[in-house]
Structure 1
Amino acid sequence: MVGNVIKRQLEIQSRIEELKTCLKVCHEMRDSLSLDCETYFSFQTSLLEAVQNAIIHGNKSDESKKVKIDLEVDESTIQVRIEDEGKGFDPECVANPTCGDNITKENGRGIFFIKNLCDGFEVIGKGNVVKLLIRI
């Protein structure tokens, strides 16, 4: 797979259009790592969901605020750290979208998807930093 550790850093504005930049990075990583379809789907979907959450929920789409994305790849894992400038959140307070009235709500599925697609998901500190782990 990967002989050395690959590191990549991005800093984007809190605009939903910036997801195109993240998607481009996903494509580059897919091509350079020769990721299989399942791993790539997990990586791309989780990264885009987490960045979208940082833009919309963390930074409240305030374009003066940034989202920092750090990617690190070694022989067996892709690790992603996403940090916004928001107040953070408590993951224990995120409702399960598969239960009761939550099924019909239009949002609230991002964290659920991320947790189910990644091999590791961690919320750090006050909740404005998340870490994703995908095994390759």
Structure 2
Amino acid sequence: MGTNHGPSWTQRHTIPSDTRIGSDLVEDLIQEMGQRQWPAMDLFRVQLAYEEAIVNAVRHGNRNAADKVVEVEMTCCDERVMIRIRDQGEGFDPEKVPDPRQDSLLEVPGGRGVLLISEVMSEVHYNDIGNEVTMIKIKSDKAA
């Protein structure tokens, strides 16, 4: 089987503010990445970043409001994955999220998701108001 699987795969969903529903969506992306022979470590990192971002959108962005939705777009090709998640919250400034690695913040909950996402993904971009994150993962050279 060759490594070229044709055009990119894309899914778009609008879901209620429910982390369980949001978590189920990533399974299709992980399956598509596996079919395109992405390394296991990349699969793990993409799923981890997705889970963090969807929880942030539902809990922090939409504040679990039943009348709000989250928009999810996922694209996968042989060498690149893009995930865009947008909530209906007021947004935030990612530059103002304190670094949870500071000694004074080690015991404080919160702030770890933004750091984790930036560590495991190749690129992370937020829109101007901070209610949309675009995460990009470039396929690793290693099959780790």
Change (3 A) 1:65 1:90: same
Q: Could you tell me which of 96, 114, 131 is aligned with 1:93? A: 96
Query: Aligned partners of 1:75, 1:23: CA distance in 2, in Å?
Result: 17
Residue identity (%): 24
Please, what TM-score do these two structures have when normalized by structure 1?
Answer: 0.91
Q: Could you tell me which of 85, 90, 110 is aligned with 1:107? A: 110
Query: Aligned partners of 2:8, 2:68: CA distance in 1, in Å?
Result: 29
Deviates more, 1:29-38 or 1:89-98: 29-38
Deviates more, 1:125-134 or 1:20-29: 20-29
Contact 1:22/1:48, CA 8 A, preserved across alignment: no
SS at match of 1:130: strand
Cα deviation, 1:42-78, whole Å, max 9, x if unaligned, reads 1100011001100000000012111111111233210
Query: Aligned partners of 1:25, 1:11: CA distance in 2, in Å?
Result: 15
Unaligned runs of 5+ residues in structure 2 are: 140-144
Matches within 5 A, 1:20-59: 20-59=23-62
SS at match of 1:104: coil
Contact 2:100/2:111, CA 8 A, preserved across alignment: yes
RMSD, aligned α-carbons: 1.5
SS at match of 2:106: helix
Structure 2 counterpart of 1:127, one-letter code: G
Query: Aligned partners of 1:39, 1:20: CA distance in 2, in Å?
Result: 17
Query: Aligned partners of 2:115, 2:87: CA distance in 1, in Å?
Result: 19
Please, what TM-score do these two structures have when normalized by structure 2?
Answer: 0.87
Deviates more, 1:110-119 or 1:5-14: 5-14
Unaligned runs of 5+ residues in structure 1 are: none
